[in-house]
Structure 1
Amino acid sequence: MLISLNHIYFILGALIAVVALLSFLDKGNPKRFLTGSFWGLYAVSFLFGNMISPVYMGVLAIAMAVIAGCGGVRMGKHEEAAVETRSDKAKKLGNWLFMPALLIPVITIIGTLGLKDFKVGSLQLLDKANITLVSLGMACVLALVAAMLLTKDKGLQPVKESRRLFDAIGWAAVLPQMLATLGALFAAAGVGQVVSNLVGAAIPVDNKFMVVLAYGVGMALFTMIMGNAFAAFPVMTAGIGLPLVVKMHGGDPAVLAAIGMFSGYCGTLMTPMAANYNIVPAALLDLPDKNGVIKAQVPTALMLLAVNIFLMYFLVF
């Protein structure tokens, strides 16, 4: 194949490696060496993850946790354009500013649905096993090129802006990846069986609605703890979804999986652990309340969760 998920990892790893280098060179950061080391280790996980043994990758993750836990990841010094300059440029570009962001979902859909069987000669263009992720990665690259052409920014300016965002988020930027891995480890360790036993002791499992309620609410709550619905899904599905909803009551696994993930996403809206959804917007918008986004989303999330539970109850059986 021409473009695989590894190519996307290499691009992302190269970006983070440059961010690490800029952090090392930033004399305005009192902990520049620790900050640079944190992002450097993160870059290594993308660049050489498939070449490093799991044991050493675990050591790398622990090293990152130690650096972050000791307060080693700090905000660096950034040069920002004057507010007037940015406002004038924004007015000049108008609604075209939204074009790069809109390109990402459009190109992702085109790649996922239209290019999954496309070949160049005898070679598959995109990795069919990871078609959506590869399409998303390529969409982000093309959107970046479009943004540079639109704004006429050159050189390292996009990388510098990426570093500013990384600094604004801090160590929480790695949470989605770490928590998704943790979810897989929990499932492999048999946490799902423990959850199943606890639920079986707490609710009447012969009641279909109570089982669906436990699964939907459990997905939301575990997502709030883990910060990632993909981390919650294997645990809650192994513990409640498959043994109780599917096997005991004959539920449709496809409906269970789809609406179960939607229920998990409701939890995503209500937790600071989902840094990329809830902390990043607060940082980008310079909100005085870091949890302002979460507080605004909680009512909607609770209503959606209730709708998802009833949808599952009426559709899964």
Structure 2
Amino acid sequence: MRDPIEYFMSAEVTLSDKLLEVLYLVIGLLCIYTAFANLKDKKNDKNIGTFIFWLMLGLMFVLGPWIPSLYTGILMVIMVLGPIFKQVKRGSEPEPTVEETQRNYRKVGMKVFVPALCIGVFALGFALFTSISPLVGMGVGVFVAVLILMVYSRENKPRIFLHDCRRMLDIVGPLSMLPTLLAALGSVFTSAGVGDVIAQLVSNIIPSGNIVVGIIVYAVGMAIFTMIMGNAFAAITVMTVGIGAPFVLSLGADPVVVGSLALTCGYCGTLCTPMAANFNMVPVAVLEMKDSNGVIKKQVLIGVIMLVLQIIYMIVMC
């Protein structure tokens, strides 16, 4: 637990970390707004469960760094009860009508893509030209995009953005937390020694000193473990400790090549799993697709082909 005033006044804390906490604060306040908007939504027959979910999530973003970890864990347990018992439901925030959409398109046209590009441009700019986190750059890009949209139309008042934030969060629902939870799961697995267990199991399969078999098992393991965890960054730590280090890197392979290609192998698994919610399930919710696995079905063949190519590339390079 830290004192927020002391944290933001400390010279030992980087500007990047301070700005990131401010960004998390804003995200938390948006979640809390969504919670109360759903609580007042009489058309949502599960407004209480929805309110509790978004309120707990918002409080974790706002208070998480400043309260004991035990309390954060309690908030998380309360938060996940709603989705488990299916008590979180999309609210009744009205969507733009077809006429309104067409009118705005005639007014703005293809310039509508400029605000969207701001997010990526600022994230890349912060990553390449500053020591500040690109996540902060994304936040700045969103703020600039809001200003541009307000210039485009006087109708874009702050309440419009609040309502649209609430509508988007409602559409995505509890899936919005899955990437964060899966990333945390990777740290838990590493601390629990899962990598060491995997190393013991694989040592009975991979012939001693055979780097080609080691690379194949490592690459396929990265794809499979990413499918299980939904996050290649969470999987690479466990798989590198368990397979990459003892069966590939120890035989003289270039760690830069192995590390970068292992991640791309993991990304091949990302294409094939519902656990990668931000890639494969969120689009289903946003586009209201009838087939919940429709995105994955279109990507499986590409994922398998790319995995084979990455393995061949890793063998040649190593």
TM-score of the pair, normalised by structure 1: 0.89
Q: What is residue 33 of structure 1 aligned with on the other side?
A: 48
C-alpha displacement of 1:205: 4.3
One-letter code of the match for 2:306?
L
Provide Cα deviations, 1:243-294, integer angstroms capped at 9, x if missing partner: 22112x1222222221111111111111111111112222222222222111
> For 1:205 and 1:6, how far apart are their aligned partners in 2?
47
Of 271, 274, 280 in structure 1, the residue corresponding to residue 273 of structure 2 is: 271
Answering whether residue 150 of structure 2 is matched by residue 135 of structure 1, we say no
Cα distance change, pair 281–67 in 1 and its aligned pair in 2 (3 A): same
Q: What is residue 164 of structure 1 aligned with on the other side?
A: 167
Answering whether residue 201 of structure 2 is matched by residue 198 of structure 1, we say yes
C-alpha displacement of 1:88: 3.0
Cα distance change, pair 149–15 in 1 and its aligned pair in 2 (3 A): farther
Answering whether residue 31 of structure 2 is matched by residue 16 of structure 1, we say yes
Q: What is residue 119 of structure 1 aligned with on the other side?
A: none
Mapping 1:284-303, distance limit 5 Å: 284-303=286-305
Kept after mapping to 2: 8 A contact 1:215/1:241: yes
Kept after mapping to 2: 8 A contact 1:13/1:45: yes
Q: What is residue 280 of structure 1 aligned with on the other side?
A: 282
Cα distance change, pair 136–32 in 1 and its aligned pair in 2 (3 A): same
> For 2:126 and 2:159, how far apart are their aligned partners in 1?
28
Of 164, 179, 182 in structure 2, the residue corresponding to residue 179 of structure 1 is: 182
Cα distance change, pair 196–147 in 1 and its aligned pair in 2 (3 A): farther
Kept after mapping to 1: 8 A contact 2:30/2:166: no
> For 2:273 and 2:98, how far apart are their aligned partners in 1?
32
Cα distance change, pair 191–2 in 1 and its aligned pair in 2 (3 A): closer
Q: What is residue 122 of structure 1 aligned with on the other side?
A: none
C-alpha displacement of 1:37: 1.0
> For 1:147 and 1:200, how far apart are their aligned partners in 2?
57
Cα distance change, pair 215–140 in 1 and its aligned pair in 2 (3 A): farther
SS at match of 2:209: coil
Cα-Cα RMSD? 1.8
One-letter code of the match for 1:228?
N
SS at match of 1:111: helix
Kept after mapping to 1: 8 A contact 2:175/2:282: no
SS at match of 2:184: helix
Provide Cα deviations, 1:12-47, integer angstroms capped at 9, x if missing partner: 112212111211111111111111111111111111
> For 2:312 and 2:173, how far apart are their aligned partners in 1?
38
Moved more, 304-313 or 190-199: 304-313
Cα distance change, pair 115–62 in 1 and its aligned pair in 2 (3 A): same
> For 1:137 and 1:243, how far apart are their aligned partners in 2?
40
Of 139, 153, 157 in structure 2, the residue corresponding to residue 154 of structure 1 is: 157
Q: What is residue 106 of structure 1 aligned with on the other side?
A: 121
Show structure 1 runs of 5+ residues with no match.
Answer: 117-125
Show structure 2 runs of 5+ residues with no match.
Answer: 1-13
TM-score of the pair, normalised by structure 2: 0.89
Q: What is residue 120 of structure 1 aligned with on the other side?
A: none
Q: What is residue 4 of structure 2 aligned with on the other side?
A: none
C-alpha displacement of 1:177: 0.4
Kept after mapping to 2: 8 A contact 1:8/1:138: no
> For 1:54 and 1:158, how far apart are their aligned partners in 2?
33
Provide Cα deviations, 1:87-143, integer angstroms capped at 9, x if missing partner: 232243221121112111211121121233xxxxxxxxx3xxxx2222233223323
Q: What is residue 238 of structure 2 aligned with on the other side?
A: 235
C-alpha displacement of 1:151: 4.7
> For 1:27 and 1:205, how far apart are their aligned partners in 2?
65
C-alpha displacement of 1:187: 0.4
The number of residues matched between the two structures is: 302
Answering whether residue 109 of structure 2 is matched by residue 87 of structure 1, we say no
> For 2:86 and 2:47, how far apart are their aligned partners in 1?
12
Kept after mapping to 2: 8 A contact 1:205/1:211: no
Cα distance change, pair 144–308 in 1 and its aligned pair in 2 (3 A): farther
Answering whether residue 309 of structure 2 is matched by residue 307 of structure 1, we say yes
> For 2:215 and 2:149, how far apart are their aligned partners in 1?
45
